[in-house]
Amino acid sequence: MKKTLALIGLAGLTAACGGPAATTKAPDPAKLTLVDRTAKAAGPLDSAVWMLDEEPGTLDLDADGGTDNRTILANVCERLMQTQPDMTVKPWLAEKAQQPDPKTMVLTLRQDATFHDGSPVTADDVVWSLKRHAGDGMDESDEFEDVASITKTGDHQVTIALKKPNALFVQALAGGAGIVLNKEVVEKLGKEYGTPGHEDACSGPYRLKEWTSGSRITIERYDAYWNKDVKPLTKSVTFRWADETALVNSLVTGEAQGAYLSETGPAAALQSNSAVTVAYGPTTRVFVLLPTDRGVMKDPKIRRALSLAVDRAGIAKSGFAGLARPWKVPVGAGAWSYEKQVFQSAYDQLQGAPESPRLEEAKKLVQEAGSPKEPIIVATNGEQARTVIANAVVDAAKKIGLAAQIKTVPASEFGSFYTDESVRAQVDLVPDDWYITKSDPIGFYDNGLTGSSNNWVGFSSPDYDKLVAKALETTDPAARAKDVIELQRLFTADMVWISLVEVPNVVVLGNKVTGPPASQVHMGYPWAADLGAKG
């Protein structure tokens, strides 16, 4: 999955914090420390207010799996598998997930799990839930494209037959595709399920208490929760929503105790404010340049030259107030949920995307490409990060003998680059951010397939295409890592996309609270269960 996240300027937010401009001084991106978790909580909280970007339209994740919806329901609804703060995946409502052969998955269910109405989580509920997720138009339906059948094969057992091996299906069961719902409750509510004034149909450590449309959503600790090893310290969490300035003010004044931030601006405004603490966690999110085949960028030598010439360290400081780090590949390290050292070693060896420019190498590539005179057109929507990136591209191009200029399009039309070829044909480079929801890099590299809707430059390699298919079917982690690393090498050698900076996950906490994970897992892991008072 990919989502575009707008970034806002810093000046207005600095004023909102009541501090001078110096409070947003950029840290050194190379020294940006990422942590899986914030410090462990020591004491109870009666209640907490948590800020969101906007009010969900529904709490039925099959209808809308948006970030704010997921952030709430990660605490309420549980999955067959669960992604941990370190981005690894472990069994949850499924006690075991075994594969007797590459096209069969057998789920052994826990026998002690119960829904919030006290009824047991059954194999019938699991089969029904998975088939609901797989239905036409459902948010997670694409995860079931390789599924041939879902069958109850025992009182506490469900068997999934696959059309072909799928290395990512276990990961899918840790996401929205693996949520187990109470069939009886959902069928009773019908179209009312997920709307204000109605109960949830889940089994998590919190249950839905109240949804006052236009004002707040409150979840409360479910004291009869089946897993006695999980002991939430916070009795209730109330979610409110606001624009960026109001969100920052709520955190600084203590009206709110925390927020996961989707944008760099508020984090930069808050990082030096003594009223809050800001923590940064692993992510899969990376800002990249997507080249088109309109003009000179269709030549891989020019793409490689520009990658060598662009100042990634400067972009991290100027475009993200230091809250990003130069990055060589198009998916963040949060995807390295297995074989981490192998992935890190391969990453370290990559040479085509340096932190600081290597201009002489870049100039030679431009000369080999015939020193084209046609200007490179770089898109921006006027927002700070994309404008900084666009300016960095213009500067880099000039230094290596290329011409470049910026084309500003309205923010409301920026998404048209993905849907309208005629709009895309007006530019050569589009700066944008991407993340994947699975902690496995193979979830990204299908973007380089021949004919992929996101492969705008027309990269085509039969060997690459075959390797994507092979990696997606390789369930042995060590073997899959080797395939993914080779895909990474091929993708970056051709610079199908030009990677720029990795943007961490951000959690802001009031100074009296701590505990929740800092990593990207807050959309699927019950983070509120870790929230509590400082010691």
Q: Is residue 362 assigned to a domain?
A: yes
Q: Is residue 152 assigned to a domain?
A: yes
Q: Is residue 523 assigned to a domain?
A: yes
Q: Both 72 and 211 in a single domain? A: yes
Query: What pairing do the DSSP bridges indicate for beta strands 81-83 and 286-291?
Result: unpaired
Q: Would you say residue 63 has pLDDT above 80?
A: yes
Q: Both 214 and 335 in a single domain? A: no
- Average pLDDT along the chain: 93
Span 155-167, pLDDT tens digits:
999 999 999 999 9
Tokens of 208: 């839905």
Cα radius of gyration rounded to whole Å, the chain: 24
User: How far apart, in whole angstroms, are the C-alpha atoms of residue 265 and residue 188?
Assistant: 44
Q: Both 155 and 246 in a single domain? A: no
User: How far apart, in whole angstroms, are the C-alpha atoms of residue 68 and residue 76?
Assistant: 13
Q: Which residues span the domain enclosing 24?
A: 11-76+204-282+505-533
At which of 151, 185, 219 does a domain end?
A: 185
Q: Please give the backbone phi and psi of residue 362, each rounded to the nearest 5 degrees, phi first.
A: -65, -40
- The CATH number given to whatever domain includes residue 15 is 3.40.190.10
Is the model more confident about 2 or about 82?
A: 82
Give the containing element (helix H, strand E) for 244: helix 244-253
**pLDDT > 90: percent of the chain:** 88
User: How far apart, in whole angstroms, are the C-alpha atoms of residue 174 and residue 178?
Assistant: 6
Average pLDDT for residues 285-309, to the nearest whole number?
97
Tokens of 385: 């990060």
User: How far apart, in whole angstroms, are the C-alpha atoms of residue 244 and residue 255?
Assistant: 15
Tokens of 186: 């959902």
CB 270 within 8 A of CB 248: yes
Q: Is residue 192 assigned to a domain?
A: no
User: How far apart, in whole angstroms, are the C-alpha atoms of residue 324 and residue 28?
Assistant: 9
- The SS3 assignment for 211 reads strand
Which amino acid would we find at residue 361? E
Q: Both 172 and 238 in a single domain? A: no
Q: Is residue 89 assigned to a domain?
A: yes
Span 509-519, pLDDT tens digits:
999 999 999 99
Report how many domains make up the chain. 3
Q: Please give the backbone phi and psi of residue 49, each rounded to the nearest 5 degrees, phi first.
A: -110, 130
pLDDT category at 18 given cuts 50, 70, 90 is very low
pLDDT for 490: 98
Span 394-442, pLDDT tens digits:
999 999 999 999 999 998 899 999 999 999 999 999 999 998 988 999 9
Q: Is residue 190 assigned to a domain?
A: no
Q: Both 37 and 106 in a single domain? A: no
Q: Which residues of 276-303 are buried (b: 16+ CB within 10 A; e: fewer)?
A: bbbbbbbbbbbbbbbbbebbbbbbbbbb
Q: Both 274 and 404 in a single domain? A: no
Q: Is residue 427 assigned to a domain?
A: yes
Span 201-232, pLDDT tens digits:
999 999 999 999 999 999 999 999 999 999 99
pLDDT for 25: 56
Q: Both 344 and 386 in a single domain? A: yes
At which of 134, 151, 185 does a domain end?
A: 185
Average pLDDT for residues 121-138, to the nearest whole number?
97
Average pLDDT for residues 134-163, to the nearest whole number?
96
Q: Would you say residue 346 has pLDDT above 50?
A: yes
Q: To the nearest 10°, the Cα dihedral for 486, 490, 495, 501?
A: 0
Q: Both 93 and 231 in a single domain? A: no
At which of 185, 217, 238 does a domain end?
A: 185
- The CATH number given to whatever domain includes residue 476 is 3.10.105.10
Query: Residue 406 to residues 135, 289, 375, 455, 526: CA-CA distances in angstroms?
Result: 43, 13, 10, 22, 43
Q: Is residue 196 assigned to a domain?
A: no
Q: Would you say residue 341 has pLDDT above 70?
A: yes
- The CATH number given to whatever domain includes residue 168 is 3.90.76.10
Q: Both 416 and 468 in a single domain? A: yes
Q: Both 229 and 273 in a single domain? A: yes
Q: Both 352 and 490 in a single domain? A: yes
Span 81-127, pLDDT tens digits:
999 999 999 999 999 999 999 999 999 999 999 999 999 999 999 99
- The SS3 assignment for 151 reads strand
Tokens of 162: 């696959």
User: How far apart, in whole angstroms, are the C-alpha atoms of residue 495 and residue 187?
Assistant: 49
User: How far apart, in whole angstroms, are the C-alpha atoms of residue 259 and residue 525?
Assistant: 15
pLDDT category at 27 given cuts 50, 70, 90 is low
Closest CA to 288 of 379, 156, 223: 379
Question: What order do you get walking across the sheet with 94-101 strand by strand?
Answer: 94-101, 104-109, 157-162, 147-154
User: How far apart, in whole angstroms, are the C-alpha atoms of residue 171 and residue 512?
Assistant: 35
Query: What pairing do the DSSP bridges indicate for beta strands 45-52 and 234-241?
Result: parallel
**pLDDT > 70: percent of the chain:** 94
Span 476-502, pLDDT tens digits:
999 999 999 999 999 999 999 999 999
Q: Both 23 and 163 in a single domain? A: no
Query: Residue 235 to residues 43, 322, 461, 533: CA-CA distances in angstroms?
Result: 12, 36, 55, 12
